[in-house]
Structure 1
Amino acid sequence: MTSWRMHVLFSLNILCTMVAANGESDLDASAFDVELPWPLSGEVLGYIGCVVAAVLYGSQYIPLKKVETGDGMFFQWVNCLAIWLVGFLGNQILHSPAVHPLAMLGGAIWATGNITAISIIKSVGLGLGVLLWGSTGLLMGWASSRFGWFGIGTQEVSRPVLNYCGAALCLFSLCMFLCVKSNIEPQIRHRMSQIPEASPLLIDRRLNPDYCDDSGAWLDSISPKSKRLLGCSLAVIAGIFYGFTFVPLLYIKHQALVNGSMFAGASQNDLDYCFAQYNGIFLTSTLYFLIYCVAMKNKPCLYPRAVLPAFLSGIMWGLATYSWFMANTYLNTIITFPIVTAGYSLVAAMWGSVVFKEVRGLANCLVFILAAAVVLTGTVLTALSKM
């Protein structure tokens, strides 16, 4: 696809997002003076939103691969600040109505899981880390939507068998990635090789009282097996939080249809809840960062070189979430959750294995290719279950 076509497609995506926020969900390509080879129906827009979200989510940590981030707390706060700015600008453009403060809880849930992201990537690598929390989030998000957990109401599809098979294949493929051994040691040696020989081996704290040790260095002091176990455990925990991010939003939308409910009359458009979600993310991350500063006795580990990469990562996440919420406007979360989570997990795995060489060896590559084929099959079945 040529670059100008990609720009046209992206512009249509953003424009349709703005129109959808005003409740015009039956948008067609005839509304534009652009000749397209296929009718741009609501479902097509939903799948486009899923693809955009998957690519951006899977690529959001790329700017940080060559930058030291320490324990990740400073990165978390800068990242969430950028997310909030994206939400603020989006809210000014879309003029979304005020929503109930409960919608902010989804952002708080996401921010709680996200504080472990840097430690996970340092422990098991980008590809495996994202795959693990993606698989857990897929299971939690799909199950809560399909079976109506937490009072959010069940979501039906026209072909439930295909939906079950698609979700199962996505989950199975992501479990297959557990058999792929990640190789992150070369990155550690690369960072060590960049230290000048003239640098002092020890730093006298009496001469530099504000010096902060690398709070993430403790990961390098534990055995590889313990590091892998810790990283995998944190990834599963993070995935549980990520999987329940949409629960408050879906609960409000479900209760809005109940007469006499405190949420009666609330918007049914997911895009109207984006800014509230981003507010919850920024407030929660700020609270965690303040607690971290207190725990560090007002000597937090700050990494100036990580500011711009963390900010760029936050912008990518913010745009990805707007695309995902747009997809939810045309498709149910029971459709979008398996597609987006499996999609961004696959994208992250591609970055980690192909670009950063986290996957090496013929056996690892074969397992990776097989798992990629399975996850693509699962996403296709999930998409077909809506038709």
Structure 2
Amino acid sequence: MEEQNNALGLIAAFLATVLYGSCYVPVRWFEAGDGLYFQWMMCIGQLISGVFVLALVDWPPIFPLAMLGGAFFAIGNALTITIMDGIGMAVGSLLWNTVTCIVGWAVSRFGLFGSLKKVPYDNVMNIIGVVVPQLPKSQSDLKKGEEIEVSHTTRLMKNRPFINPELTLPSLVSGLMYGAATCCFFIASEHLDPIVAYPILAKAPGIVCAVWAILLFKEIKGRWDVLHLIAGICVTVAGITLITVSKVKLY
């Protein structure tokens, strides 16, 4: 096994954060309908990224069980457009990243599903770093929950798929960005351990999404809402810092 390099892991985590947080930006400029065509084209973009990486590493064997991860992602990703249309890109990203953070951390920390158990040097600091970023999200959950629109689901029952040709290239670009981000994620996970990489890469992309939502798409305009989001970002950064430091042996 390759020796761990914390600096390389942090660089990969930073690149993955920027790409994960920006991968949905290209499609926000176009009408995406029910999101199924977007999801299909985005998966093709990810496939292209995967084939390119496989070629770079001399075509290693493929494990069929790992394809379940792609199937689960495709199912969840089909709801992305509905979520972003209902509650916005920033809030939606922060909400689903919260679940990703907790589940990914727990799987690595406790060795669930046959994975290798990873315990950081400072266990208490690591746990605090995971819990703290979830606190401000609970308030936004309650505030934005009533704004979710369910009308999009009725389109799935009409057998009339929505296909916008203008969405093709942006969706492919989103898939390429997501695929590149996932490659960086694997590098970060290898050099930082999943117990550190998962919480960082689950929460940090939400900050990037929030910046895009405020500066580019003007999803959040009210002064109080902006201040509330900034406070949440600061708490998230504090949690990420604790998680990162918990990897280092201080004494």
Task: Establish whether TM, by shorter chain, passes 0.5.
Answer: yes
Alignment of 1:3-152 (within 5 A): 25-26=2-3, 42-152=5-115
The AA in structure 1 aligned to 2:148 is R
Describe the superposition over 1:281-319 as per-residue Cα deviations: whole angstroms up to 9, x where unpaired.
xxxxxxxxxxx7xx655x422110000110111110000
- Corresponding residue pairs, total: 245
Residue in 2 aligned with 1:312? 173
Contact 1:180 1:367 in 2 (8 A): no
Describe the superposition over 1:328-381 as per-residue Cα deviations: whole angstroms up to 9, x where unpaired.
111211101111111001111111122211112221122111111100010010
Residue in 1 aligned with 2:241? 380
Match of 2:190 among 329, 336, 344: 329
Mapped partners of 1:165, 1:378: distance in 2 = 7
Secondary structure class of the residue paired with 2:34:
coil
Describe the superposition over 1:54-84 as per-residue Cα deviations: whole angstroms up to 9, x where unpaired.
1111111111111011101111111100100
Q: Is 2:115 the partner of 1:160? A: no
Q: Which has the higher helix share?
A: 2
- Unaligned runs of 5+ residues in structure 1 are 1-22, 27-40, 182-223, 235-291
Contact 1:174 1:375 in 2 (8 A): no
Match of 1:175 among 109, 131, 138: 138
Contact 1:173 1:371 in 2 (8 A): yes
Secondary structure class of the residue paired with 1:347:
helix
When residues 83 and 116 of structure 1 are mapped into structure 2, their CA distance, relative to the original with a 3 A threshold, is same
Percent sequence identity over aligned pairs: 33
When residues 384 and 96 of structure 1 are mapped into structure 2, their CA distance, relative to the original with a 3 A threshold, is farther
The structure having more radius of gyration, on CA atoms, is 1
Structure 1 ranges of 4+ moved more than 6 A: none
Match of 2:215 among 354, 368, 378: 354
Mapped partners of 1:325, 1:354: distance in 2 = 30
The AA in structure 2 aligned to 1:361 is G
Deviation at 1:149, TM superposition (A): 2.1
Deviation at 1:111, TM superposition (A): 1.3
TM-score by length of 2: 0.90
Mapped partners of 2:174, 2:143: distance in 1 = 26
Mapped partners of 1:178, 1:355: distance in 2 = 23
Mapped partners of 1:300, 1:116: distance in 2 = 15
Mapped partners of 1:82, 1:338: distance in 2 = 25
When residues 178 and 313 of structure 1 are mapped into structure 2, their CA distance, relative to the original with a 3 A threshold, is same
RMSD: 2.2
Residue in 2 aligned with 1:345? 206
